[in-house]
Amino acid sequence: MVCFVPFAPLSGKTLSAFRFPILKFFMDPHLIPGGRKVDARGSVSFVNGFDFKGVDRFYWIEANQPNTPRGWVGHQREHKWFSVIRGEVLVAVVAPDNWCSREPENGRADLPVGPDAQQHVPTADQGRAARIVSEKSNPSRNLSVARFTLTSANPQVLHVPPGHATGSVHLTAEAILMIFSSGKIEDAPSDDFRFPADYWPILLENKS
């Protein structure tokens, strides 16, 4: 068992109590707006407010099938920035209240364990070791989930600070989700927390 005391991303109540509205902005997930210019030659999309400070690496995700939930993955140290360069993707964000975890039981440090393990199989050369949620020390399932729909037609960057877990769903078949990350890849295994895709609802349930 490996237990991490959550550094507890500052909640709205905590921050308002200390009256640090600027700090709250940077500790909560938030959108950085962009724009798009179109003329007879084509279009130019941009997010000038995203200055790449703190970014160490980037990667992108394409889905084999749209509307398939992917997640959850949490980080206590890494910042993540999400942007859609084609199509439409929903990104869901939650702040786990318990970060206790255990190492994989199958002896493979490079493969996650759990019902949705196949979604997260990393390449061998990445050497990413997933820390899996302990069945005896699970975070609450009743946490608030924030959802952001990102689309290439409305350029934006979603900044998710440390202390959060994210899940995503490609809403269109051709969608590409670009992810920028702080932290070197060799440091990633010690800050990689996996939760089953259905642990918190990524998509809102259709009540109709």
- Cα–Cα dist 82/95, whole Å: 17
Q: How high is the pLDDT of residue 16?
A: 37
Kind of pairing between the strands at 193-194 and 70-75: antiparallel
Q: Does domain 30-194 have CATH number 2.60.120.10?
A: yes
The ranges assigned to domains in the chain are 30-194
Q: How high is the pLDDT of residue 135?
A: 52
- Cα–Cα dist 102/105, whole Å: 8
Q: How high is the pLDDT of residue 183?
A: 87
Q: How high is the pLDDT of residue 115?
A: 35
Q: How high is the pLDDT of residue 198?
A: 93
- Cα–Cα dist 72/196, whole Å: 6
Residues of the chain with pLDDT under 50: 1-2, 4-25, 102-129, 207-208
Q: How high is the pLDDT of residue 131?
A: 56
Rg (CA), the chain: 17
pLDDT digits over 143-196, tens only?
999 999 999 999 999 999 999 999 999 999 999 999 999 989 999 999 999 999
Which residues have CB under 8 Å from 186's CB, separation 6+?
A: 127
As a whole number of Å, the end-to-end CA separation of the chain is 42
CA diameter of the chain? 60
Q: How high is the pLDDT of residue 136?
A: 52
Q: How high is the pLDDT of residue 109?
A: 36
Q: How high is the pLDDT of residue 138?
A: 83
Structure tokens at 138: 């699970």
Q: What is the DSSP letter of 117?
A: G
Which residues have CB under 8 Å from 89's CB, separation 6+?
A: 82, 149, 150, 151, 168, 169, 170, 171, 175, 177
For residue 104, how far is the Cα from the chain centroid?
Answer: 21
Kind of pairing between the strands at 88-94 and 146-151: antiparallel
